[in-house]
Amino acid sequence: MKIRHFFYNSFLIENGKNKIAIDPGQNLWIFKLSSLIPKTEWKSITHILITHGDPDHHWQSDRVAEASNAPVVCGKDLAKNLVWVPR
């Protein structure tokens, strides 16, 4: 199993065929408008887990999901309130 940590609280966990992005979030450092997980990783992600509703944990998840065609997993309450940022 390979675990990689990215700035703040984003992780990629790889185990065989699965690559799970945890809290791909919004990179707010120097106002970069991108996920904390590099775009070069997006297409190979198989699952996305959002732990809670803070923007730095879930913003950009829609872009990562679109690029990877990965399902987004989160709690029921968060799913009700999760709003994707219009592009």
Say what the pLDDT of residue 86 is. Answer: 46
pLDDT tens readout for residues 23-75: 887 766 555 556 678 889 999 999 999 988 887 777 788 889 999 999 999 98
Domains of the chain: 2-81 (3.60.15.10)
What pLDDT does 54 receive?
A: 82
DSSP string, 26-84: B--GGG--SBSS-HHHHTT--EEE--S--HHHHTTHHHHHHHHTPPEE--HHHHHH--P
26 vs 10, higher pLDDT: 10
pTM of the model: 0.83
Of residues 83 and 36, more confidence is placed in 36
